[in-house]
Structure 1
Amino acid sequence: MGNLMDKEPPPPVVLVPPLFDFPPLAARTRMLESSYNMLFGKLALKCLFDDYFERAEHFSTMIMLKPIDDPLVDLVATVSGPLERRPDEYPVGNAYFRWQSDVDDPHTFIDLFVSNSDPVLQMRSCAYYPKYGFGAFGIFPLLLKNRVSSEDYGVMGLRYGSGNLSFGATVMPFSSKDELPKTAWLVSKMGRLTAGVQYEPQYGGKDGAKYKNLMNWSCAVGYEVGSSSPLCPSFNFALELAKSSQFIASFYQHVVVQRRVKNPLEENEVVGITNYIDFGFELQTRVDDAKTTSNKTSDSTFQIGASWQANKNFLLKGKVGPLSSSVALAFKSWWKPSFTFGISATRDHTFGRTGYGFGLRIEDLREASYQRADPNFVMLTPNKEHLANGIVWKIGKRPMLQADVNAGKFDSIPRELRPLGKIL
């Protein structure tokens, strides 16, 4: 009887919700892209400035499903179009059917793309061998309404990737010799610094040598602090000179904070919750003497964006630019499959009009629960609650969490969070 009366209260708990979208869907096909186009914070900035910002007076629907009996295949289908019927615009429907060789290896796969616009049918394939670091890939349009260029007959590529180096090239098999290669890149990482160069022969050169034309070259350098895991803060700053004509400066910061919970619907032992805050800035300006128009915004533009995930269900985003500003609110239910509904408002500064867009996503591709594997935090239980036995909570101060695991023990981490360390 005394044991029942002296029962200890449950330990304090800090909720650690999963991110809305991790990893980004574009990361599933990154082996088809140049590493130069994926690094320097470009993927994170694209997600910050594009995701859940629907076009004004438009809607979008995305369905991402996989069968229970075969986790190696999945289907992603999208439908988008104007909210009101327009004679010059009609809904666009796309679908990807994907097969990959291993659940834990998303880099070796084949997918088929179908659409009611060009290309009507397209196949993409990639084979990557992490043990050796080499990979081969190809993109082949099978059905097109009109083939007008060499790229319409397919693109093939080879790549090498290690923890500190990535290089590769793509070619069009049916192109002429002066069009080879289509792209070539070299990226190297030295500590926190990443530098890269990319060659895209689009302009002619003296003596017919396109590689001598600086307009065909781009270079970038980036400084990165932190981890790629969304459960850890990170910072990325990059400078790029694109095609020797456009200068791009950008930064992206991911912040992980804890705040007190003042929700009467939560249990008494829930004392805090983890929030995710993201900031981003991008400036683009021309550095050549080319005269575009009298409007200076055509020569230089910028955008600033931020997002705040208050809990596992609500996400608030906003971005500001010289031509327009947008705000978006998304609500997500973590059922199986999950449903995400978003609404965005866009203010056109040129015409002084405000338009609204709507989006709906249905998904069961990505795992929702995270587990701690960082020496600065303790492990999560399977129900996504953070057992903070070592928590020190004081009014007006952030909680300090003691370590419960050693660095390097990543066996129980979800696949999306495992630090590969072998692919730049």
Structure 2
Amino acid sequence: MGNWMNKEPPPPVVLVPPLFDYPPLAARNRMLESSYNLLFGKLALKCLFEDYFEAANNLNTIIMLKPIDDPHADLVATVSCPLDFKAEKDVVGKAFFRWQSDVDDPHTFVDLFVSNSDPIFQLRSCAYYPKYGFGAFGICPLLVKNRVSSKDYGVMGLRYGSGNLSFGATVSPFSSEDELPKNAWLVSKMGRLTAGVQYEPQCGAKDGAKCTNLKNWSCAIGYGSGSGSPLSPSYNFGLELAKSSQFIASFYQHVVVQRRVKNPLEENDVVGITNYIDFGFELQTRIDDAQTSNKIADSTFQIGASWQANKNFLFKGKVGPLCSSVAMAFKSWWNPAFTFGISANLDHKFGTTAYGFGLRVENLREASYQRADPNFVMLTPNKEHLAEGTVWKIGNRPMLQSDVNAGNFDGLPRELRPLDKIL
């Protein structure tokens, strides 16, 4: 009886919710892409400016499922249609069936792509050997209504990747066009500085002059910090000269903050919650003769921000000279998880507002994780962690520093670790 009367109160806890979408689906296929197109904050900015911003007057449904007894295989299907569709051709359906040899390594895989638009049936494959850093990949459209460009005949490539260097090239072996290589890149990282160059021959260039034509070359330089894990704050600033005709400046920052919990539905021992805030800016300015590019705006920009308040709600917004959009998403962490999103798009030119809707069903990414840090002992499956021994002060960095700052991510599941040590 005495022990019951003198029972100590439970230790304070801090809610650490999982991110809505990490790692992004685009990261699973990054070995098929040029490293130049994914670094310098480009992948993060693409997710910030595009995810959950549904097309105006459109319904987008995504189903991402994997078998319970075979984690090596999964299916991602997308169906998109206008809200007032009147014909079957208005509905666009796509699906990927993927198999990867290692559940924890997404870099060696084979997938089949089917769609009711070009390409109708496509095979993609990639093999990467981390011990040596070399990889090979290929994209082969098997069924295409009309083969117009060299991509319609298939692409093959070789690449090398390490922690500080990435280079590779792609060719179209079955194309009649004389393009060799079709794409080539070289990216190097030195501390917080990343620099890269990419060669993409333009159609219609004179034979023998493609390599010397500056319009076929792009270069970029970026400065950033952070481990790449969503539990670690990070930022990236990049400058790019694309095809000697467009100058692009971008900035992206991921912030991990904690705020006090004032929700009467929470237990008394819950003292705070971790939030994720992202901010991005991108400016594009043309530097070539305006007469040769009068169909493209001389200058444009966009600013975006997102705030994940807890494990269930995500708010996003972006502003540009032509239109602005806001989006809200609600996610239920069942198995499978359901996500419903709604976005509003304001056209500044005509002053009209249109709405888009999205629905996602997923069990590809796990909702919970364990921490070996004594300050973050899992209490329940909904990300409640001990906050004992940590001074709670508003504005301080979150209590995630001991292992994350040291670069020790072994205690984290794969979906919260950095993408890996491959540049």
TM-score under structure 1 length normalisation: 0.94
Query: In structure 2, what is the Cα distance between the partners aligned to 1:52 and 1:421?
Result: 26
Q: Distance in 2 between matches of 1:271 and 1:41?
A: 34
Q: 1:1-400 alignment to 2 at 5 Å? A: 1-86=1-86, 90-176=90-176, 178-203=178-203, 208-291=208-291, 298-372=297-371, 378-381=376-379, 383=381, 384-393=383-392, 398=396
Between stretches 323-332 and 377-386, larger displacement belongs to 377-386
Distance 1:188 1:405, change over 3 A: closer
Deviations 1:243-269 (A, max 9, x none): 000000000000111000011110110
Question: Is the 2:228–2:417 contact (alpha carbons within 8 Å) kept by the matching residues of 1?
Answer: no
Q: Which amino acid aligns with 1:239?
A: L
Assess if the C-alpha contact under 8 Å between 2:290 and 2:298 holds in 1.
no
Instruction: Mark the CA change 1:166 to 1:402 in structure 2 (over 3 Å): closer, same or farther.
Output: closer
Which consecutive unaligned segments of at least 5 residues does structure 1 have?
A: none
Task: Tell which deviates more after alignment, 140-149 or 300-309.
Answer: 140-149
Secondary structure class of the residue paired with 2:316: strand
Give the Cα–Cα distance (whole angstroms) in 1 for the partners of residues 106 and 178 of structure 2: 34
1:382–1:220: structure 2 CA closer, same or farther, 3 Å change rule?
A: farther
Unaligned runs of 5+ residues in structure 2 are none
CA 349–89 in structure 1, closer or farther in 2 if over 3 Å, else same: farther
CA distance in 2 between counterparts of 1:290 and 1:420 reads 40
TM-fit CA distance, 1:401: 3.6
CA-CA distance at 1:371 after TM superposition: 3.9
The separation in 2 between residues aligned to 1:335 and 1:46, in whole angstroms, is 27
- The alpha carbon displacement at 1:170 in A equals 0.2
The answer to whether the 8 Å contact 1:373/1:409 transfers is no
- Deviation of residue 422 (structure 1)? 3.2
Give the letter aligned to residue 417 of structure 2.
Answer: R
Q: State the distance in 2 between where 1:20 and 1:274 align.
A: 13
Change (3 A) 1:313 1:16: same
CA drift of 1:97 comes to 0.3
Once the two structures are superposed, residues 271-325 of structure 1 have per-residue CA deviations (whole angstroms, 9 ceiling, x without a partner) of 1000111100000010111326779x81110000000110000000000000000
| 1:277/1:101 CA distance change after superposition, 3 Å | same
Amino acid in the other structure paired with 2:143: L
SS of equivalent residue, structure 1 residue 179: coil
Conserved? CA contact 2:231–2:416, under 8 Å: no
Q: CA deviation at 1:151?
A: 2.2
SS in 1 for 2:211: helix
Q: Pick closer, same or farther for the CA change 1:265–1:76 going to 2, 3 Å.
A: same
Matches of 1:402 and 1:343, distance apart in 2:
32
Of 82-91 and 181-190, more deviation after overlay is shown by 82-91
Q: Which amino acid aligns with 2:286?
A: R
Q: Distance in 2 between matches of 1:402 and 1:208?
A: 55
Greater Cα shift, 407-416 or 68-77: 407-416
Partners of 1:331 and 1:402 lie apart in 2 by 26
Do 2:77 and 2:96's aligned partners in 1 also have CA atoms closer than 8 Å? yes
Quick one: structure 1 residues 264 and 162, their matched pair in 2 at CA, closer, same or farther if it must change by over 3 Å? same
Instruction: Give the deviation of 1:379 after TM superposition.
Output: 4.8
Q: Secondary structure at the match of 1:27?
A: helix
SS in 1 for 2:37: helix
- 2:416 and 2:31 map into 1 onto residues whose CA distance is 18
Counterpart code for 1:315:
L
Q: For residue 423 of structure 1, report the CA deviation from its aligned partner.
A: 0.5
Q: What SS does the corresponding residue of 1:343 show, helix, strand or coil?
A: strand
Identity in percent: 78
Cα displacement (A) at 1:374: 7.9
Cα gap change, 1:409 to 1:231, in 2 (>3 Å): closer
Deviation sequence 1:330-389 (CA, Å, 0-9, x none)? 0000000000000000000111110000000000001112344789x6454562111111
Could you tell me how far apart the structure 1 residues matched to 2:147 and 2:206 are? 30
Query: What CA distance in whole angstroms lies between the structure 2 residues aligned with 1:186 and 1:397?
Result: 40
Deviation at 1:149, TM superposition (A): 3.1
SS at match of 1:47: helix
Which amino acid letter does the alignment assign opposite residue 20 of structure 1? F
Find the aligned partners of 1:361 and 1:14 in 2 and give their Cα distance: 28
SS at match of 2:45: helix
SS at match of 1:185: strand
Q: Give the residue type in structure 1 aligned to 2:181.
A: P
